[in-house]
Structure 1
Amino acid sequence: MAVSFATVSTFISPQTASFSGKTSSALILLHPTNVRMVRTVIQATASKTDTGSRKPRGIMKPRRVSPEMQALVGVPEIPRTEVLKQIWAYIKEHNLQDPDNKRVIVCDEKLKKIFGQRPRWIS
């Protein structure tokens, strides 16, 4: 049950509640618990990020690739995100998408080695 300030002020007499910096116990007991305290932002500063010295992690970290994948992308170590970009560039460059359903990839010999000898792959 939420109590409005007008209701609280009728229960607390001015002698009981001292607003000179001290809080009375009656005021604390009658204060509703679902009210959020709001902090005023005086000055906002942007946090300093040092992106230059941080090593790549997760999917941005270069990983070793298989010899079949290396024949397609051309490097022994590459991040996963770059591998996907290069595979899609290869597919679009060689027009290997099915014209009726663009989600289906028609594999050539290089892609068959990567996708497990399947003639078609659904992305």
Structure 2
Amino acid sequence: MAKTAKKATKPATKQPAKKAAAKKAAPKKAAAKKATGKTGSGLSTPVTPSAELASVVGNKAMPRTSIIKKIWDYIKEHDLQDKQNRRMINADSKLKPVFDGKNQISMFELAKVVNKHVQ
């Protein structure tokens, strides 16, 4: 029997895959910011403090968040947090009218008390 010669086959060469033209997405533009000085709504609406509250935070109209921050700055500056229960705030002569005559309130009541003293 005659031997049949095997054809030498070349291993299949892989052609480099054509990369799809990847289009880069245009960067998204940031949302336009509101112009400063506009009045917001809710917590960012400037409110005017009462005379009692103005003695602590000043008499300029400002957002409630700023009023609370200034009260906390005053509390920390004058060391008015209770030593045993840090959740309680002791009143001094300026804060007692704001706290409706109470000697001490909870920090959770602070926003409620401030709400009574703003317009």
- Quickly name the TM-score band, shorter chain normalised: 0.5 to 0.7
3-state SS in 2 of match to 1:84: helix
- Matching residue within 31, 48, 60 for 2:31: 48
Aligned to 2:63: 79
Secondary structure at 1:78 match in 2: coil
Gap regions ≥5 residues in structure 1: 1-40
Offset of residue 48 of structure 1: 3.2
Structure-1-length-normalised TM-score: 0.60
C-alpha distance in structure 1 between counterparts of 2:100 and 2:36, whole Å: 39
> What is the aligned-residue RMSD (CA, Å)?
1.9
Larger-gyration structure (1/2): 2
For 1:77, what is the secondary structure of its paired residue?
coil
Q: Using CA pairs under 8 Å that are at least 6 residues apart, name the structure with larger relative contact order, 1 or 2.
A: 2
Note if 1:101 corresponds to 2:85.
Answer: yes
- Number of corresponding residues: 83
Task: Report runs of 4+ in structure 1 exceeding 2 Å deviation.
Answer: 41-44, 50-54
Superposition TM-score, scaled by structure 2 size:
0.61
